[in-house]
A and B are shown apart, each in its own frame.
Chain A
């Protein structure tokens, strides 16, 4: 018991001491201490890639090779599998719902532990009663637990998810961006539930990008940056600016060398009152020739949705988009590419690259029509272009006949970038172009983007990597809950100003309406 983490006699609900987790090539979590008291809401903050989610995955038992010690209520626990984590009293509310939609609520709540009446049958009455009890803990007294999950709203499903976690009687509840699918009234409801849980003595770890939420609900906050602990302090002793500063830290010098921006007057893309009901409303922005325009917003602000509508994959309901002065209303993505608009998707593994095909197949996949003679298409005829582009992107190894899934993540991303360079479009939407890649690849991609715009092309950058936005973008449009609320010019652009603006605060130049 000598190791017992006593701090003036107090036992923490959760005490992670010097925990580290190494992924190939990177140290995702580096000797982090993380302590949560009983009956407190502890916010965990940091930018994307700061290591928050890795830390929480570790807590949830998804890794069996972390180092360091984890104490739960003063007892040392090994969290090497999800079941062990569950037994240790850790409940994780996932960001994406892990409910079976076509199954009734009470079964989802009690999955894997339905009460039995005797050896054979489940006790439905008891199950429903138990489910009702759990639902009432999250304020859903009026919901019939025999309904299917598909019959209730997204918000209610999110609360059901929380109730499901509570069903395991956790002493620590981890909530990862729990408000991302909720409306503002529903968020208040969630706060009520969190306060209730807090008064019951549970420890709550609350992960969010929304500063307002932190100040509303959290007692203490821990900030991480680049896998390291920056500091932990009570919320009452801090303010938004200070927190942002902690998250952002000192800007990395010389990583983003200033580049000569070559912005011309000509407006190549203009969105006016662009609306897709329920996804984004009355969006306005202009993109100039030779400009990198960032669209910034918190998770779920509607960045990707705008891109999908622009390229014609989803249908917009209102507003007007003009490209090169002509009204553009693409009926599918193929037409958009022909019209000079490309879109580099955010998740390369799911919607970016055909992993089981060769580099050449992937790079040429968006220009098959443009390079066909009638119905005939000569793949070998494009080899020159493919080689040129993968050399430009310095893909290693530069072998166009290799399967994409045998490349490292960074090189896969370079292949994806090469694909859109090869497409020959003059407006490119980049959605998280450097997520999950190593520094080298990041550098290469950034240089290529600068090179690309210097040739008179334009880029719309959708990124939640703030240093990247500050380093690359010439202007940033701030998007908040589906609305454009303003823009920040290059001179005013810092990570702090963007983050504060995206939270709906701070001063910025207003959008011309």
Chain B
């Protein structure tokens, strides 16, 4: 019995590892100076929001059984586009944000078509699209940094508090709302469940009459929408955007990717939740605030990622070993060894 209890605990810890890690970080925060100040919390969550959008996109595509490496470039380009259009064409902010988001949708659509119609492996296709996006955005801004200019209305709005007594910026709250919206789609709509099904077993889904191609494209489009919208808002929120956004320090893509894995989204598709990724990313954001040196951040996050992967790989390795065991014989084995002992 003792053994069984222990096993249950291990499974429990593993299942809720993102929550437990968040709690751990929060406890560590008690011992840090100026950690639980409203200002700090507002800044940490606000600055961490971009990665949440990226993580969201990456997770959806991963659930559908593919990989999308373009999320970071999509968001960077969306940020550039938004700021650029406002500065040069004098378009209103709302329109700029919509155009930024649409760019993401378009890219998601292209990715989806490359993967489903041309049957290119998603990872490889996204590498190609990454290059294309990089080229397009360099051409768009000539490699210069674009800034928000003089119109700070939206910047103030996003940085400000939506609810007076909550130390959370409007940007973070929008992010959270969007996350929960996508969560609802994934969990409670037919499209969402089909995304899980296609990721879990594409053949079964096809036999049951699900249009797998459309589902995969939809996953890519949602991913593109999230990355585009997030990037556009982030451009306004931070007031500036450049092509190398996030290439210094730890790349946002890596954070999103790590959060997916730590959160527990299955790297082979079919299982996962944007909420897990969301919690993991908040955890990572606070972790970053906790250890100020970028170096240590990278190491800690990297180690956590590798640990999770090793755990999952070893678990799969052990599972595969006993695949195809005959139930009759296994009962017999238990009886025999039970008698022997």
Kindly report which residue of chain A lies nearest to residue B205, judged by CB atoms. Answer: A111
Known pairs A155-B327, A184-B328; A102 contacts B200 (CB<8 A): yes
Against A, the Cβ 8 Å flags (1 = close, 0 = not) of B185-214 are: 000111001101100110111011110000
Segment from B25-33, B146-154, B231-239, B330-338 that makes contact with A: B330-338
Known pairs A122-B188, A281-B333; A103 contacts B207 (CB<8 A): no
> SS class of chain B's interface: helix, strand, loop or mixed?
helix
- Which residues of chain B have C-beta atoms less than 8 A from A99's C-beta? 201, 204
Q: Do B327 and A154 touch (CB < 8 A)? A: yes
Known pairs A120-B189, A124-B188, A277-B333; A98 contacts B201 (CB<8 A): yes
Any chain B CB within 8 A of the CB of A82? Answer: yes
- Which residues of chain B have C-beta atoms less than 8 A from A281's C-beta? 329, 332-333, 336
Against A, the Cβ 8 Å flags (1 = close, 0 = not) of B49-86 are: 00000000000000000000000000000000000000
- Which residues of chain B have C-beta atoms less than 8 A from A155's C-beta? 327
Any chain B CB within 8 A of the CB of A403? Answer: no
Q: Do A481 and B190 touch (CB < 8 A)? A: no
Segment from B88-96, B121-129, B216-224, B318-326 that makes contact with A: B318-326
Kindly report which residue of chain B lies nearest to residue A280, judged by CB atoms. Answer: B329
Q: Do A98 and B325 touch (CB < 8 A)? A: no
B26 to chain A, nearest CB (A): 30
A86 to chain B, nearest CB (A): 8
B194 to chain A, nearest CB (A): 8
- Which residues of chain A have C-beta atoms less than 8 A from B197's C-beta? 100, 103, 107, 111
Any chain A CB within 8 A of the CB of B46? Answer: no
* Complex Cα–Cα for A181 and B329 (A): 11
> SS class of chain A's interface: helix, strand, loop or mixed?
loop
* Complex Cα–Cα for A120 and B205 (A): 20
- Which residues of chain A have C-beta atoms less than 8 A from B266's C-beta? 102
Q: Which of A100, A101, A183 contacts B327 (CB 8 A)?
A: A183
Q: Do B193 and A122 touch (CB < 8 A)? A: yes
Any chain B CB within 8 A of the CB of A114? Answer: yes
* Complex Cα–Cα for A185 and B200 (A): 30
B340 to chain A, nearest CB (A): 11
Q: Which of B207, B208, B322, B326 contacts A482 (CB 8 A)?
A: B326
- Which residues of chain B have C-beta atoms less than 8 A from A121's C-beta? 184, 188-189
The total number of A-B Cβ pairs within 8 Å is: 99
Question: Which residues of B from 293 to 317 have beta carbons under 8 Å from A?
Answer: none
* Complex Cα–Cα for A281 and B330 (A): 10
B189 to chain A, nearest CB (A): 6
Q: Do B193 and A116 touch (CB < 8 A)? A: no
Q: Do A111 and B204 touch (CB < 8 A)? A: yes
Q: Do A278 and B189 touch (CB < 8 A)? A: no
* Complex Cα–Cα for A83 and B207 (A): 8
Kindly report which residue of chain A lies nearest to residue B196, judged by CB atoms. Answer: A103
Known pairs A100-B200, A183-B328, A482-B329; A112 contacts B210 (CB<8 A): yes
Kindly report which residue of chain A lies nearest to residue B202, judged by CB atoms. Answer: A100
- Which residues of chain B have C-beta atoms less than 8 A from A277's C-beta? 329-330, 333, 337
Any chain B CB within 8 A of the CB of A279? Answer: yes
Any chain A CB within 8 A of the CB of B104? Answer: no
Q: Which of B207, B328, B330 contacts A98 (CB 8 A)?
A: B207
Q: Do B326 and A300 touch (CB < 8 A)? A: yes
Q: Do A98 and B190 touch (CB < 8 A)? A: no
* Complex Cα–Cα for A121 and B185 (A): 8
Kindly report which residue of chain B lies nearest to residue A117, judged by CB atoms. Answer: B188
Known pairs A98-B207, A99-B204, A112-B208; A279 contacts B326 (CB<8 A): yes
B281 to chain A, nearest CB (A): 22
Most A-side CB within 10 Å, residue of B184, B207, B209, B270: B207
* Complex Cα–Cα for A74 and B1 (A): 58
Question: Which residues of A from 279 to 315 have beta carbons under 8 Å from B?
Answer: 279-281, 300, 302, 305
Question: Which residues of A from 146 to 162 have beta carbons under 8 Å from B?
Answer: 148, 153-155
* Complex Cα–Cα for A183 and B331 (A): 9
Q: Do B329 and A279 touch (CB < 8 A)? A: yes
- Which residues of chain B have C-beta atoms less than 8 A from A86's C-beta? 209
Q: Which of B189, B200, B208 contacts A122 (CB 8 A)?
A: B189
B315 to chain A, nearest CB (A): 11
B195 to chain A, nearest CB (A): 11
Any chain B CB within 8 A of the CB of A182? Answer: yes
* Complex Cα–Cα for A300 and B325 (A): 10
* Complex Cα–Cα for A111 and B331 (A): 33
B208 to chain A, nearest CB (A): 4
- Which residues of chain B have C-beta atoms less than 8 A from A186's C-beta? 327
Q: Do A279 and B207 touch (CB < 8 A)? A: no
- Which residues of chain B have C-beta atoms less than 8 A from A83's C-beta? 209
B130 to chain A, nearest CB (A): 28
B144 to chain A, nearest CB (A): 44
A20 to chain B, nearest CB (A): 25
- Which residues of chain B have C-beta atoms less than 8 A from A100's C-beta? 196-197, 200-201, 204-205, 270
Q: Do B207 and A101 touch (CB < 8 A)? A: no
Q: Do A98 and B203 touch (CB < 8 A)? A: yes
* Complex Cα–Cα for A98 and B201 (A): 8
* Complex Cα–Cα for A153 and B325 (A): 11
- Which residues of chain A have C-beta atoms less than 8 A from B330's C-beta? 277-278
* Complex Cα–Cα for A357 and B121 (A): 22
- Which residues of chain B have C-beta atoms less than 8 A from A279's C-beta? 324-326, 329
Q: Do B325 and A122 touch (CB < 8 A)? A: no
A346 to chain B, nearest CB (A): 14
B325 to chain A, nearest CB (A): 4
Q: Do B190 and A114 touch (CB < 8 A)? A: yes
Q: Do A278 and B322 touch (CB < 8 A)? A: yes
* Complex Cα–Cα for A184 and B333 (A): 15
Kindly report which residue of chain A lies nearest to residue B201, judged by CB atoms. Answer: A100
Against B, the Cβ 8 Å flags (1 = close, 0 = not) of A454-472 are: 0000000000000000000
**Which residues of B come within 8 Å of A, CB atoms?**
184, 188-190, 193-194, 196-197, 200-201, 203-205, 207-210, 266, 268, 270-271, 322, 324-333, 336-337
**Which residues of A come within 8 Å of B, CB atoms?**
82-83, 86, 98-103, 107-108, 111-114, 116, 120-122, 124, 148, 153-155, 181-184, 186, 277-281, 300, 302, 305, 481-482
- In order of increasing CB-CB distance, the 9 nearest A-B pairs are A100-B200, A112-B208, A100-B201, A278-B325, A183-B327, A102-B271, A102-B270, A111-B208, A277-B333
| Interchain Cβ contacts under 8 Å between A and B, 9 examples | A99-B201, A102-B268, A103-B197, A111-B205, A114-B193, A278-B326, A279-B329, A305-B324, A482-B328
Taking A83-B209, A100-B205 as given, write out 4 further A-B residue pairs in contact, using a Cβ cutoff of 8 Å, ordered by the A residue number: A98-B204, A100-B270, A107-B196, A186-B327
